[in-house]
Amino acid sequence: MQNLRRAFWGSLAALALLWLIAEPQLLGPGSFFPLRERMVQLSGVLAIGCMSMAMILALRPRWPEAWLGGLDKMYRLHKWFGITALTTAVVHWLWANGPKWAVGWGLLARPERGARRSIESPIEGVFSSLHGSAEGLGEWAFYGTVVLIALALVQLFPYRFFYKTHRLLAIAYLVLVFHAVTLMKFSYWMSPLGWILGALFAYGAWGAVVALLRRIGAGRQIKGRITSLKYYPGVRAIETEIEVPRGWRGHKPGQFAFAMSNLSEGAHPYTIASGWNAQDPRITFITKERGDHTSRLKEKLCLGQEVKVEGPYGCFTFDDNCAHQIWIGGGIGITPFIARMKELSMLKGTSGVGIPPRVHLFHTTADVDEEALRKLAADARSADVHLHVLIDTRDGRLSGERIREVVPEWRTASIWFCGPTAFGEALKQDFGAHGFRVKERFHQELFAMR
């Protein structure tokens, strides 16, 4: 999370600093209207800059994933940039229109028009001739962007509709790039601000076209076929095994992939619940019924069905040098730990493999399926993992105090958490209050793609 904050605030600070270099007289001489012009430019730069970075992250690029901590963290940053773009765009709209309303209401005096500045550059002349079109199209694109981002933030809005409507942001973005290129102060293009924004616009526009063509992640997609389906009614989850005979480069336990069984629904992210064996190339997903799509999977999926799988993604891969690890899986958050246990079981007795850490796995759940729990216990025994199952109605809530009582080596261990975000944050604060080095040793998957 620290790198996410650095990337977010660093990007905003860089855009503001570059704008100050291009526009050193922040307030400048004169009345209110010169200030208004500068604020329109600054808010516009921040809005289109943030939207460009959100568009770039929507491509699921591989190059920043390791530094940002995985694609799940990158989507959190994508969301922050989207919200900031919306906020600054509203500010930009208010600076552009508010003074006009104030003049109409008699609260401000209309500024006197001076002599029109002569335009020497032919490119600037072209931009000037397009101002009217850019303003009109930009305003409508702004309204559309407000609605689309608002819908993306409403969790009750069904995913299948979100998948379709969110792609329309690519069209709005292309219109807003035209708006920004045309209306941005022409002198900015001769400064570092213009060069950086030009690069962002080019990358973002390419991303918008890729999104409209439904080609995001196409280079990491392979076709698989369902070979096994198992439904666990007690926990309302379905286990799907997919054979991926060609193209899959393997994965680490804890990583996730996007799977698409229905084009109209688009690709959904699922944590992989199996280790990787190149001699028997299969991937297993365990999917809990949560929304309208996942609730219909047990009726929609069938043996032999073709499925597109894209990935792997994520850095929740249990890589550290700690002799002890504490795993915490809340509900369906148990999935990455199942994958790791299966890998540890496969690696037992393999030459050249180091001594694995001593592991305590805490699984807390409100739902119970005896068969699923038996399989979990068998995986733990096979991997030499100490399993602690806590059923909410029987055992109460899991807390940091209970974990520390069971694991006396907790100070030197690393903690790997997958489950409800609020629960993870509460545990992180609890352990941090007891002197645990949460920044280095508390690993939390942020598995929320909206």
| Pair (175, 128) in one structural domain | yes
**Residue entry with tokens 């992210």:** 269
Domain-located, residue 319: no
| Pair (201, 229) in one structural domain | no
Query: Is 158 within 8 Å of 152 (Cβ atoms)?
Result: no
Average pLDDT over residues 400-415: 95
Domain-located, residue 359: yes
Res. 28: pLDDT tops 60: no
Query: Is 160 within 8 Å of 265 (Cβ atoms)?
Result: yes
**H/E element, 109:** none
| Pair (293, 389) in one structural domain | no
| Pair (223, 204) in one structural domain | no
Please give the model's pTM, rounded to 2 decimal places. Answer: 0.88
d(CA 280, CA 375): 21
pLDDT single digits (tens) 363-403? 999 988 999 999 999 999 999 999 999 998 899 999 999 99
Tally the C-alpha atoms within 13 A of residue 240's C-alpha that lie toward its C-beta. 29
Strand ranges of the sheet holding 414-418, from the earlier edge strand across to the other edge = 386-391, 358-365, 324-330, 414-418, 442-444
Res. 352: pLDDT tops 70: no
And the tokens for 262?
A: 């229905």
Boundary-marking domain end, from 313, 340, 357: 313
Domain hosting 262: range is 218-313
Domain-located, residue 343: yes
Domain-located, residue 318: no
Boundary-marking domain end, from 259, 280, 313: 313
| Pair (303, 356) in one structural domain | no
CATH number of the domain residue 418 falls in: 3.40.50.80
Per the omega criterion (within 30 degrees of 0), is the bond before 29 cis?
Answer: no
Average pLDDT over residues 303-319: 93
Dihedral sign computed on CA atoms, order 429, 433, 439, 441: negative
Res. 24: pLDDT tops 80: no
- CA proximity to 73, closest of 26, 11, 6, 28: 6
| Pair (340, 206) in one structural domain | no
Domain-located, residue 289: yes
pLDDT single digits (tens) 435-448? 999 999 999 988 66
What backbone torsions phi and psi does residue 329 show, to the nearest 5 degrees? -115, 115
Domain-located, residue 449: no
| Pair (141, 285) in one structural domain | no
Average pLDDT, rounded, for the chain: 90
Average pLDDT over residues 220-240: 93
Domain-located, residue 224: yes
Please give the pLDDT value at position 449.
Answer: 60
| Pair (289, 328) in one structural domain | no
Alpha helices per DSSP H over 213-262: none
- CA proximity to 206, closest of 56, 334, 332, 106: 56
- CA proximity to 438, closest of 446, 430, 428: 428
Please give the pLDDT value at position 329.
Answer: 95
Please give the pLDDT value at position 191.
Answer: 95
Query: Is 81 within 8 Å of 238 (Cβ atoms)?
Result: no
Res. 67: pLDDT tops 70: yes
Please give the pLDDT value at position 291.
Answer: 73
pLDDT single digits (tens) 139-189? 999 999 999 888 888 876 677 777 778 889 999 999 999 999 999 999 999
d(CA 182, CA 173): 14
In terms of pLDDT, which residue wins out, 351 or 337? Answer: 337
d(CA 372, CA 212): 41
Average pLDDT over residues 287-296: 81
CATH number of the domain residue 294 falls in: 2.40.30.10
Could you give the dihedral angle defined by the CA atoms of residues 237, 241, 247 and 249, in that order, rounded to the nearest 10 degrees? 70
Residue 349, phi-psi category: left (phi > 0), alpha (psi -120 to 50), beta (remainder): left
Average pLDDT over residues 73-83: 94
| Pair (101, 129) in one structural domain | yes
Domains of the chain: total: 3
Res. 261: pLDDT tops 90: no
Residues whose CB is less than 8 angstroms from the CB of residue 44 and which lie 6 or more positions away in sequence, other chains included: 92, 180, 183, 184
Query: β-strands 442-444, 358-365: how paired?
Result: unpaired
Res. 36: pLDDT tops 70: yes
What backbone torsions phi and psi does residue 325 show, to the nearest 5 degrees? -130, 140
Boundary-marking domain end, from 189, 212, 235: 212
pLDDT single digits (tens) 107-137? 887 877 666 666 777 887 788 888 889 999 9
Top mean pLDDT of 26-40, 184-198, 286-300 is at 184-198
pLDDT single digits (tens) 334-344? 999 999 999 99
Could you give the dihedral angle defined by the CA atoms of residues 195, 196, 199 and 200, in that order, rounded to the nearest 10 degrees? -150
| Pair (171, 72) in one structural domain | yes
Residues whose CB is less than 8 angstroms from the CB of residue 269 and which lie 6 or more positions away in sequence, other chains included: 256, 257, 258, 313, 447, 449
Query: Binning pLDDT at 50, 70 and 90, where does residue 209 land?
Result: very high
- CA proximity to 19, closest of 159, 137, 185, 131: 185
CATH number of the domain residue 156 falls in: 1.20.120
Domain-located, residue 105: yes
And the tokens for 82?
A: 């989207």
| Pair (72, 168) in one structural domain | yes
Please give the pLDDT value at position 256.
Answer: 93
Query: Binning pLDDT at 50, 70 and 90, where does residue 450 land?
Result: low
Number of H helices, E strands in the chain: 17, 11
Please give the pLDDT value at position 298.
Answer: 87
| Pair (278, 360) in one structural domain | no
